[in-house]
Amino acid sequence: MTDMNPVAALAEMSNRYGSDPSFVLAGGGNTSYKDEKVLYVKGSGTALATIKPEEFVKMDREKLSLILKKEYPASESEREAAVLSDMMAARLPGETRRPSVETMLHDLFPYRFVLHLHPAVVNGVTCSKDGEKVASELFPDAVWVGNSKPGYCLAALCDEVLGGFEKKRGFYPKTVFLQNHGVFFAADSVEELDELAAACIAAIKSRIKEYPDMSDAPADTGKAARVAPVVRAVWGEGAPATVRFCRAAAVVGYDPSNGCLSPDHIVYCKAKQLVLRDGDDIAAAFAAFRAANGYKPKIVLYEGLGAFCCGGTFREAVIAEEVFRDAVSVCVYARSFGGASFMPDDLVAFIVGWEVENYRSKVSLSAAAAGRLDRKVVVVTGAAQGFGKGIAEEAAKEGAYTVIADMNYEGAVALASTLPSSTGVRVNVTDEESVKKMIEYTVLEYGGVDVLVSNAGVARAGGLDEMTRETFDFVTAVNYTGYFLCAKYASAVMKIQRAADPSYTADIIEINSKSGLAGSNRNFAYAGSKFGGIGLTQSFALELAPFGIKVNAVCPGNYLDGPLWSDPERGLFVQYLNAGKVPGAKNVADVRKYYESKVPLGRGCFPADVAKAIMYIVEQTYETGQAIPVTGGQEMLN
């Protein structure tokens, strides 16, 4: 690293620390490198874990230095606006990114590299009653800076305190602890920064007597799964939202009377939490909280149950959970240093309304452009392969949060890892308890279920003479009973959200088959289950219409390239060849050619064809109980 370009070395260091959750919080923290004329600093809202060398904001150091020498208006709002304007003007020509809020502080250090982090272990000291005393004992060459408004005020205070330290001690400090904030390390090389950070963490850990228990505590997950959709409905106020349930032992035991620990906790979790108890009217409690505080609660604590972490997007909710876990951890660590010391009310109020921090939050939480299934929670069964896999991939492209549900758990997890905001879960759709757990898991992960795609299915060809009762029952259990079980438990959740938000609508979609529209020779077990599926679809549609739940079926043609057909051992091509279903067929190629010839549009059905039908069903508002052919014209409705 010594021979590396310094800005490249800065990016490497930033990525390394930014990828370690023990050092950073919500992708935050900031880093910089400087030469005599230019400061390269991380942009506001940019993640340390992914920043590239060319993404650092280039600042004119001479112009930056003038900011702390300038007289600004006494009015807080006017001063902040003027400072922001001057800092933006200090960017080099062509720069469009907004520099870190702590840019001026970075420029104060005479050292080349600066690393600013918020490790929970360190903040156990900076947010504790005995923090200053402990810091002076462990780090005699470090500086403690008391509470200050961030940005300009903090830079001005540090200029005074750090300058005074230099005059007294004869050198500029390399470690600076900011009360209720975090820590700065500064050095002329990345290697020395690494040594400073490692030594700091090790020294503080040597004094820690208690660590937070972040393992899951026993909880009534069924109850949590009934509460989450209500919280999601009232928080979203008619718009999509995500709610994640956290039952870590330390979170369940958290004291809601605690104050705010740091600016980051306020930015991503807000200053206060909504507290619920059994018997509370959640909608009324939410409305009262918002009226009293002027913002929605990001954290809803349910006494004795856990925390519901909320956001307009999945990422926002994930970050709210991560940051709240951090706040709880800091409180626990602080017990080793005299107990937690919270931010004063006036500083909390400043952070809540500060434009710069609101900008940082907005940038770091910004979502991708909306797709046709934007932020909808879509459960797809049988999604590790075949039509299900393709449907899940297409849904994710359109902004859905996809739950990849399959008996092949490893395959489900592998697929989910390639799709944004997705998760894999094991399910056997013929097992009622397994289906119940799948839906419960989904609700605790996302807050609800918006679209259930009942896709899991099997096909076993054979005529009356060779079909066994065991095979017949197996096909029926997966294709027919499995659909019933999935609809039963998904609709229960959808009803809860509808009761909390009368404008809410949801969809249950069965992936049926062209064999559900017309009989299939020597394939009666499959065709019968699919005919039955359409009967279920029409019946469910009648029952669930009053709850805003549309129930429809998509009847695809043959996905000839999928494993159902093409598997060399159990695929339908092989089955149909062996069953003599295609007269004169001598090999698999003959069977395929035969089925392609039956399609007016000349090809098999693709997952994208089915996905388009699913999206149409979700978007339209006036059809339910329908079976929509997607067969290339092979089957047409009368």
CB atoms within 10 A of CB 12: 15
Nearest by Cα to 97 from 65, 54, 68: 54
Are the C-beta atoms of residues 507 and 550 closer than 8 Å to each other?
Answer: yes
Whether the domain at 6-205 and the domain at 377-559+606-630 fall into the same CATH topology: no
Q: What DSSP character marks residue 545?
A: G
**What's the pLDDT score for residue 3?**
65
Distance CA 522, CA 520 (A): 6
Domain 6-205 has CATH 3.40.225.10: yes
Distances (CA, A) of 15 to 8, 51, 492: 11, 7, 44
Q: Residue 628: helix, strand or coil by DSSP?
A: strand
Q: What is the mean pLDDT of each run of 10 residues along the chain (638 residues)?
A: 82 96 87 97 90 96 94 89 94 94 94 97 98 98 94 92 96 98 97 97 98 96 98 96 98 95 93 97 97 96 97 96 97 98 94 62 56 97 95 98 98 98 98 98 98 95 92 97 98 98 97 94 94 98 98 94 85 88 91 92 94 97 97 89
Q: What is the pTM of this model?
A: 0.92
Angstrom distance (rounded) from CA 341 to CA 331: 9
Number of other CB atoms surrounding residue 20 within 10 Å: 13
Q: Give Cα 318 distance to the centre of its chain.
A: 5
DSSP class per residue in 80-129? HHHHHHHHHHTBPTT--SPBPTTHHHHHH-SSSEEEEE--HHHHHHHTBT
- At 562 the pLDDT is 83
Cβ-proximal residues to 134 (8 Å cutoff; 6+ apart), any chain: 125, 128, 207, 337
CA distance 518 to 47: 55
Report the pLDDT value the prediction gives residue 637, as an integer from 0 to 100.
85
Which CATH number applies to 221-364?
Answer: 3.40.225.10
pLDDT score, position 448: 98
> Does residue 72 have an active-site annotation?
no
377-559+606-630: CATH number? 3.40.50.720
Cα–Cα separations (whole angstroms), residue 212 to 21, 23, 220, 250, 404: 15, 16, 22, 6, 32
- Cα 29 to the center of its chain, rounded Å: 20
> Are 233 and 497 spatial neighbours (Cβ–Cβ below 8 Å)?
yes
CB 299 within 8 A of CB 320: yes
pLDDT reported for residue 362: 54
pLDDT at 359: 46
Give first-to-last CA distance, the chain, whole Å. Answer: 72
What residue ranges do the domains of the chain occupy? 6-205, 221-364, 377-559+606-630
Catalytic site residue from 401, 446, 526, 576: 526
